[in-house]
Amino acid sequence: MQRLLRVILIVLGLSVAYAAWPFYSAFKIREAMVAGDTATLTHSVEWTSVRASLKASISAEALARLEADPNAPPPSVWQRVKSAVAPRMADSVIDRYVTPEYLPVLLGYRRIWRGTVQPALGLGREEPPTALAGTLFAGSVVDRFASSWKRLRRGVFYSPTRIEIEIEDKYKPGLSYVSTLEFKALGWGFGWKLTGLAIADAGL
């Protein structure tokens, strides 16, 4: 009986850890965006599918505003060639923004200042109180994780290897990001990878 109970507790513990893993992975991806950690973002995001999902969730008006932004990432040489040869097949501004360097800018975690990507600090935004403000853990990684968890709207497993997580924006109530994560190879092993991203309110 004790052996059976021990096995049940081990299985239960592993199940809880597995269920919590994608939420922690989503948090680490957000931390990488805040820090501008392009190396982590490169292997943690499936860029082709994320571009496609963002294009589907952002309105034409919002895309036009991004295209007109003087700070929008410049097109690459190959994108310029495609625009000149086949204008109707030209890549949209989303293709330029959704890269390890510029996705944090699109989502407001970083900013473009004098042609370089920098932390999004000192922009006149009032910081909302964190979940553990006024405690010994204020400002720590535990505080940041608890604050992200507080903004969690839903987390739904559609299969053992696919989950959808919706988190409210830190600064704009009513604006949320719906992330799809899948359990896949990450180059150095297996883990949860961001494969889809949609903006619930397309008014960027």
Average pLDDT of each block of 10 consecutive residues along the chain (204 residues)?
Answer: 85 93 95 91 94 86 74 62 46 84 85 62 67 88 92 95 94 88 85 93 54
What is the domain range of residue 187?
17-199
Decide if 7 is inside a domain. no
Task: Give me the residues paired with residue 183 across strands.
Answer: 192
At a CB cut-off of 8 Å and minimum separation 6, what does 40 contact?
28, 29, 32
Do residues 36 and 100 lie in contact, with contact meaning Cβ atoms separated by under 8 Å? Answer: no
Alpha helix (H) ranges present in the chain?
2-35, 38-44, 47-57, 60-68, 77-85, 93-97, 103-106, 141-150
Is there a domain that residue 10 lies in?
no
pTM of the full structure:
0.83
Task: Please state the domain count of the chain.
Answer: 1
> Does residue 2 form part of some domain?
no
- By the 8 A CB rule, do 92 and 63 touch? yes
Select from 60, 130, 142, 117 the least CA-distant residue to 94.
Answer: 60
Q: Does residue 5 lie within any of the structural domains? A: no
Q: How far apart are CA 41 and CA 17, in angstroms?
A: 23
Residue 192 has a pLDDT of: 96
Instruction: Report pLDDT for 88.
Output: 46
Residue 173 lies in a domain: yes
Length of the chain: 204
- Does residue 6 fall inside a structural domain? no
Residue 84 placed within a domain: yes
- Contact criterion met (CB below 8 Å) for 29 and 43: no
> Alpha-carbon dihedral of residues 14, 140, 22, 170, nearest 10 degrees?
150
Model pLDDT, residue 171: 80
DSSP, collapsed to helix, strand or coil, labels residue 23 as helix
- Output the CA torsion sign for 29, 32, 34, 38: negative
